[in-house]
Amino acid sequence: MCQIVNKGKLMIKSKIKIRTRFVPKGMKILYEDRDIIIINKNAKLLSVPTETEKEKTALALLTNYVRKGNPKARISLFAVHRLDYDTSGLLIFAKSMVIREKFASQWKDVKKKYLTLIHGHFEKKSDIIESYLTENENYKVYSVKNPQDGKFARTKYTVLKESEEFSLLEIDLLTGKKNQIRVHMSESGHPIYGDKKYGDSKKKRLALHALSIKFKHPFNNEEMYFETEKPDFVNMCN
């Protein structure tokens, strides 16, 4: 049977049977058709290859999975977007450059929500953080005052729960710049739990998860919505 994915009031059937027992470690395949694959990526897995790691990435592992279904296939997958190594959650891959480019042309209309656990409490329980982001020679992103020196980034947060030490936030990613959520939280004085790069000394996994995504299918324009289960770190804010 094809996998059925919750789409609000509707249900989406995966067009291609997902061979569950062959799914690579580090991910769960939520949906697949002839044009796209959507996965739930675990933390501690690269989205795409780097200069130092070519094989242990979501892109490489997923490409091998697709080709196993048809040994003669020469399918190449293309990452539509990326998640940091330590960030878990939803990732979309295209099965052709044409589909990848169609996604790129409509990406400003894609709606993405994240969950994150931060240190401390915001005075405003819902707000939008804006800044211009740039990156230094050590690949660390930070905000600058001059618009000509950075890229505009907007992050909307809403406080869902608070404990004595932490706050659980829902994040609407209004723009998609590198490390945007992590930088905005850190510069607000509330670094994300486990974010060693941007201010938290705790040696735990980064408490950042790509929870949901809403978009129009690049081939048939059908509206699609996917949402994962909530990550374990939400329980730290009880």
Contact by Cβ (8 Å): 236, 163? yes
**pLDDT above 60 for 10:** no
Active site residue 195: no
Domain with residue 48: its CATH number is 3.30.2350.10
pLDDT at position 66 = 87
Number of domains in the chain: 1
From CA 60, how far away is CA 47, in angstroms rounded?
9
Phi-psi region of 113 (alpha: psi -120 to 50; beta: other; left: phi over 0): beta
pLDDT in tens, 25-35: 999 999 999 89
pTM: 0.89
From CA 24, how far away is CA 121, in angstroms rounded?
38
What does the pLDDT average to over 57-73? 81
> What residues pair up with 182 in beta bridges, in sequence order?
none
Contact by Cβ (8 Å): 51, 16? no
Question: Comparing C-alpha atoms, which of 221, 192, 185 is closest to residue 207?
Answer: 192
What does the pLDDT average to over 77-91? 95
pLDDT at position 35 = 92
pLDDT at position 153 = 95
pLDDT in tens, 92-112: 999 999 999 999 999 989 999
Identity (one letter) of the amino acid at 63? Answer: T
pLDDT in tens, 141-193: 999 999 999 999 999 999 999 999 999 999 999 998 999 999 999 999 999 99
Cβ-based burial of 172 (10 A; exposed 0-12, middle 13-18, buried ≥19): middle
pLDDT at position 4 = 45
Contact by Cβ (8 Å): 84, 179? yes
Cβ-based burial of 129 (10 A; exposed 0-12, middle 13-18, buried ≥19): buried
pLDDT at position 135 = 92
pLDDT in tens, 205-236: 899 999 999 999 998 888 999 999 999 999 98
Contacts of 125 (CB under 8 A, 6+ apart): 158, 159
Give the range of the structural domain holding residue 23, as residue numbers without chain letter. Answer: 4-237
Question: Choosing from 84, 86, 195, 200, which is the catalytic residue?
Answer: 84
Contacts of 43 (CB under 8 A, 6+ apart): 85, 86, 87, 88, 205, 206
